[in-house]
Amino acid sequence: MPTDSVKSRTFKEAFNGTVRFEIPFFQRGYAWEKKQWDQLFLDIQEQILDEINLGSSIDEVEHFFGPIVVLEKTGGSAELKEFVVIDGQQRITTVYLLLAAIRTEIASKNHLSMDAAEYVARISKYLVNDVHGSDDYLKMKVFSSKGDRLPTYRMVFGADVNPKTPMLNTDLQLYIPGNNRVDEFQKYSARKIKNLCKDVPSLWQLSEALLNCLKIVWIPLDQKKDDPQAIFESLNDKGMPLKASELLCNYLFRPIIEADEPFENLHNDQWLAAMRILETDDKFEDYLRNLFSIGEAKMVGRQRKVYIHFKVKNRNLSSQTAKSQLTDIYSCAPLYRTIREPIAHPHEDPKINQTLIALSDTRMDSCTPFVLSVLRELAKGSLQTSDVRQILWETLILLVRRKMTEQPTTQYDTMFPQLLSRIRTETDMIRALHDQFKRSAVWVSDQEFEYALVHKATYRSRDLAFSRMILIEIDKRFQAHGQFPDYSTVNTIEHTLPQNLDGVWKAYLGKDADDEHLEALTNSLGNLCLLSGPANSSVGQNPFDSKRASYSPITALARQMKEHVGPWNLAAITERSKLLAAEALKIWAWAAL
């Protein structure tokens, strides 16, 4: 980096002439938000405008705004002097957009000032390149390679104006009006400017402050000596750190770009499409973590560890390998969504989907790399549907049994990522699966499972989906001829013996009210049934006989309680738990080999 060319500049100097600042592909989109915008306006007011209003001239006031690291492009348009922005994208984009917002506000007040038209023209010099050709985007002085360029163009040239450009169709797909940070800033800046500047002179003063008083350190790179992406990554942490998915995107596309292959459609149709399937950045990064964990010795770490892991595993990433990775990322995204949201996005096989719903209810997310790998092989045709059904069902049995017996989950991060690779080539995959469970010391015997069903809590306030799933599946076993009620309408769990005992219940229980096992048995399987919300609220602390009389017979479990003869005490609860546990053992029984 030639130090003699590092200098202090103003945005007036940066935007002067026919120039374009291109945001490279490895940069994120425009990402500043209210926190950064508020700070900018506060700095402008306190560090610049207040000084000017106290008598200082524009030339005397300055506020350091940070560095702008650029790489001058060669071999581009003869009309334009083009720079790739390596660091400072958020700053340079914000000032560019803010100048456009100020110009729009001045234009709206044209009838109030004789100088308004001149001010609009003078600001336009720093917003619009005087070039002619078939691509209107050449007129913009700040140009993004991602989804920000269309809203930026509209902010500069008019809300309803589309550019004449070969990129228009792509940009119309990328841009979702109202769901874009440029759009957010347009609304924010319009409100701020109206509050800060009441007339044309104050608006012009604000534009002058931006152009003349915000000082940047201009740092040009040498194209022959400096690696733009490496420098960008090293500088990034000083601003708004890139997310793992953004760093990964840059790393994946780098060999494709260097091979001079078309990359933007690939980005839109695969990478961006996968992100949209998962809807949020957090879900997308969690998906990548699970996808990249498949076949590994342990689960990949969260956040930036996802990127570091991928980079280490793919040190010499070729263009072909990168494209293969992108295809896998795109094709597996719907499968991951189905695992996470099997009700909203069901699997095409109903039996597989029922198991996925139950797996989701266990909240044992550590199994996701394994489940994703199994569904991926099914989608490829490498596994049969019948095998996948059985593999996932046996996995559910493991998780239900371990959750009921309150076993630790520490082994999951090392067992599940490699599990499919360890059973895939075996003739009897279910036997191999059981063997792996035993070798990993996660196997739960019938005796352990039965003991937990009788003596441990089935009702868990932080795990109600799991508790309801257990009760619903047992309830189905007692329903005649497979005629099931709508369980969505009987969606609460009733404790026949209340969790909090009043005086009447304490007297009814006698010595049981002081039993050391009271709390555990109150939340155990034998004391629970399914009721609708209103019915549950109405029975509350009512005495047992009153409750029993009011229970609706819609669910088998409530019907059993209604038909119970004798007192309802800890012994009765234990006996009923044993009865229901016998059915649970049949439901979540290991496959006979």
Residues 455, 536 within the same domain: yes
SS (H, E, C) 245-265: HHHHHHHHHHHHHHCCCCCHH
| Cα dihedral sign, 137-140-145-148 | negative
Query: 577: closest CA among 559, 557, 555?
Result: 557
How far is it, in rounded angstroms, from Cα 6 to Cα 242? 26
What pairing do the DSSP bridges indicate for beta strands 142-144 and 19-23? Answer: parallel
Per the domain annotation, does 593 fall within a domain? Answer: no
Residues 58, 200 within the same domain: yes
What pairing do the DSSP bridges indicate for beta strands 214-220 and 7-10? Answer: antiparallel
How far is it, in rounded angstroms, from Cα 346 to Cα 194? 49
Residues 420, 540 within the same domain: no
Q: Residue 351 — pLDDT band, cuts 50, 70, 90?
A: very high
pLDDT at residue 5, as a whole number: 60
Question: What's the number of CA atoms in the CB half-sphere (13 Å) around residue 68?
Answer: 30
Q: Helix 89-108 and helix 181-196: axis angle, to 10°?
A: 50
Q: What is the SS3 assignment for 456?
A: coil
Residues 296, 273 within the same domain: yes
| Cα→Cα distances 138→14, 15, 124, 557, Å | 16, 14, 15, 71
How far is it, in rounded angstroms, from Cα 23 to Cα 446? 61
**What φ, ψ does residue 531 adopt, rounded to 5°?**
-135, 165
Residues 180/188, Cβ–Cβ less than 8 Å: no
pLDDT at residue 132, as a whole number: 84
Amino acid (one-letter) located at 175:
Y
Amino acid (one-letter) located at 63:
H
How far is it, in rounded angstroms, from Cα 497 to Cα 367? 35
Query: For the residues 304-324, what does the mean pLDDT come to?
Result: 93
Helix or strand (DSSP H, E) at 19: strand 19-23
How far is it, in rounded angstroms, from Cα 530 to Cα 489? 10
- Taking only Cα atoms into account, the Rg of the chain, rounded to an integer number of angstroms, comes to 33
Residues 485/554, Cβ–Cβ less than 8 Å: yes
Residue 572 has pLDDT above 70, yes or no: yes
Percent of the chain scored above 90 by pLDDT?
A: 73
Residues 432, 514 within the same domain: no
Instruction: Count, in order, helices (H) and strands (E) of the chain.
Output: 29, 8
Query: 451: closest CA among 584, 339, 338, 559?
Result: 584
Per the domain annotation, does 200 fall within a domain? Answer: yes
| Cα→Cα distances 231→70, 72, 94, 263, 383, Å | 11, 15, 22, 22, 45
| Residue 44 neighbours by CB distance under 10 Å | 21
| Residue 191 neighbours by CB distance under 10 Å | 9
Per the domain annotation, does 359 fall within a domain? Answer: no
Query: For the residues 6-32, what does the mean pLDDT come to?
Result: 89
pLDDT digits (tens, 9 = 90+) for 99-150: 999 999 999 999 999 999 999 999 999 999 999 888 999 999 999 877 899 9
Q: Tokens 């994703």 appear where? A: 372
Chain mean pLDDT for the chain: 91
Query: What is the residue range of 474's domain?
Result: 450-587
Query: For the residues 47-64, what does the mean pLDDT come to?
Result: 90
Per the domain annotation, does 73 fall within a domain? Answer: yes
Residues 301, 230 within the same domain: no
Query: 527: closest CA among 511, 547, 546, 510?
Result: 547
How far is it, in rounded angstroms, from Cα 399 to Cα 463? 14
Residue 28 has pLDDT above 90, yes or no: no
Helix or strand (DSSP H, E) at 66: strand 63-72
- More confident call, 100 vs 179: 100
Q: Residue 87 — pLDDT band, cuts 50, 70, 90?
A: confident
> DSSP per residue over 307-319, as a string?
HHHHHHHTTT--H
Query: For the residues 151-171, what does the mean pLDDT come to?
Result: 92
Residues 421, 502 within the same domain: no
Residues 261, 160 within the same domain: no
Angle 2-5-11 (CA atoms, 0-180°, nearest 5)? 135
Flag the least confident range among 8-12, 248-252, 432-436.
Answer: 248-252
| Residue 587 neighbours by CB distance under 10 Å | 13
Per the domain annotation, does 356 fall within a domain? Answer: no
| Cα dihedral sign, 49-52-58-64 | negative
Q: Residue 232 — pLDDT band, cuts 50, 70, 90?
A: low
Amino acid (one-letter) located at 68:
I
Percent of the chain scored above 70 by pLDDT?
A: 95
Residues 247, 163 within the same domain: no
Residues 154, 253 within the same domain: no
**What φ, ψ does residue 335 adopt, rounded to 5°?**
-65, -40
Q: Residue 265 — pLDDT band, cuts 50, 70, 90?
A: confident
> DSSP per residue over 496-556, as a string?
SS-SS--HHHHHHHGGGGG-TTHHHHHTSGGGEEEE-HHHHHHHTT--HHHHHHH--TTSH
Structure token digits, residue 10: 């103003």
Residue 587 has pLDDT above 50, yes or no: yes
Amino acid (one-letter) located at 171:
D
Per the domain annotation, does 355 fall within a domain? Answer: no
- Boundary of a domain, candidates 323, 340, 357: 340
Residues 295/418, Cβ–Cβ less than 8 Å: yes
Number of structural domains (the chain) is 4
How far is it, in rounded angstroms, from Cα 386 to Cα 38? 58
- Boundary of a domain, candidates 422, 443, 464: 443
Alpha helices in 263-411 (DSSP H): 264-266, 273-278, 281-293, 304-313, 319-340, 350-362, 368-380, 385-404
Residues 343/357, Cβ–Cβ less than 8 Å: yes
Residues 288, 387 within the same domain: no
**What φ, ψ does residue 125 adopt, rounded to 5°?**
-60, -30
Q: Residue 3 — pLDDT band, cuts 50, 70, 90?
A: very low
pLDDT at residue 261, as a whole number: 87
Flag the least confident range among 115-124, 241-250, 453-462.
Answer: 241-250
How far is it, in rounded angstroms, from Cα 199 to Cα 47? 21
Residues 82/238, Cβ–Cβ less than 8 Å: no
Structure token digits, residue 307: 């990127």
Per the domain annotation, does 168 fall within a domain? Answer: yes
pTM: 0.77
Highest-confidence segment of 3-7, 220-224, 304-308, 370-374: 370-374
- Boundary of a domain, candidates 240, 261, 285: 240
Structure token digits, residue 219: 């740092």
pLDDT at residue 267, as a whole number: 86
Residue 548 has pLDDT above 70, yes or no: yes
- More confident call, 416 vs 236: 416
pLDDT at residue 2, as a whole number: 46
Per the domain annotation, does 351 fall within a domain? Answer: no
Q: Helix, strand, coil: what percent of the chain each, to 5?
A: 60, 10, 30
Query: For the residues 568-573, what does the mean pLDDT come to?
Result: 96
Residues 141/23, Cβ–Cβ less than 8 Å: no
How far is it, in rounded angstroms, from Cα 500 to Cα 518? 11
Residues 401, 487 within the same domain: no
pLDDT digits (tens, 9 = 90+) for 198-212: 999 999 999 999 999
